[in-house]
Chain A
Amino acid sequence: MPHIRLPEGIPGILGPMAFSPATAKPINELAEVLLRGPNTLSPGERESIAAYVSSENDCFFCASVHGAVAAHHLGGNETLIQEIKRNFEASGVSDKMKALLAIAGKVQKGGKHVTSEDIARARQKGATDKEIHDTVLIAAMFSMCNRYVDGLATWAPADPAMYRESGKRLAQEGYVHSTDHLPVNAGD
């Protein structure tokens, strides 16, 4: 049961987004720029960072949705996403991505956990300042979304097929209009 009255049957972050469209809009716009805008990190890599941070925050809904978006971008490679969540250092991602995921994991614990050694490692593996910046902001943003979703005790479906479906839709259509179909001001 969600802690406040949210429209029923709307999963995860979509419930509070339907409840509060004014805040949903900038959150979706930030997700669009950060995860899908022009970038040297592919959408699959950026979604993997989002899924990993969500998994570290134990946010089942976000970890499942963004894991599914990442897998869709990566040609349906769900195994890789599972590996990243379990132990990214032993996964099949590039050394640069491992260094960026390490930074993201530190940001998830709190910004001050990031060390200059973490940054040096990422640079040494070829990460640019823009890539380091975006990694920190993705990790920070998802720590926000994870707390938003779980702080209100939203409902999260258990069926992996549902996440696969919404992962595919978000990968193809993006975030800006992803909540247009929700009932307006459902919480009022």
Chain B
Amino acid sequence: MFNRYVDGLATWQPHDAEMYRAHGQRIAKQGYTATDWERAESAAAK
């Protein structure tokens, strides 16, 4: 389902492996229902 949702809308996908590593780590720690991960990540990137 998620694959078709993501690709059916032709979403933008970063190619930087480091980004996925950081994102994976955050999801593994905080889970999927944490709503502020996007803000947390952009703050961490600064």
Q: Do A and B bind each other?
A: yes
A residues sitting closer than 8 Å to B (CB atoms) are 103, 106-108, 110-112, 114, 116, 132-133, 136-137, 139-141, 143-144
Interchain CB contact under 8 A, B10 and A140: no
**Nearest CB in chain B: distance from A30 CB, A:** 9
Interchain CB contact under 8 A, B1 and A114: no
Q: How many A-B residue pairs have CB under 8 A?
A: 41
Q: Which residues of A sit under 8 angstroms from B4, Cβ to Cβ?
A: 107-108, 110-111, 136, 139-140, 143
Interchain CB contact under 8 A, A111 and B1: no
**Interface on chain B toward A: helix, strand, loop, or mixed SS?**
helix
B contact residues, total (Cβ < 8 Å): 10
- Residues facing A in B1-26 (CB within 8 A) are 1-10
Most A CB atoms within 10 A — which of B3, B9, B10?
Answer: B9
Q: Which residues of B sit under 8 angstroms from A136, Cβ to Cβ?
A: 4-5, 8-9
Bound Cα distance from A144 to B6, whole angstroms: 14
Bound Cα distance from A178 to B42, whole angstroms: 40
Can you spell out 17 A-B residue pairs with CB atoms less than 8 angstroms apart?
A108-B4, A110-B4, A111-B3, A111-B4, A111-B5, A111-B7, A111-B8, A111-B10, A116-B10, A132-B9, A133-B9, A136-B5, A136-B8, A136-B9, A137-B5, A139-B8, A144-B1
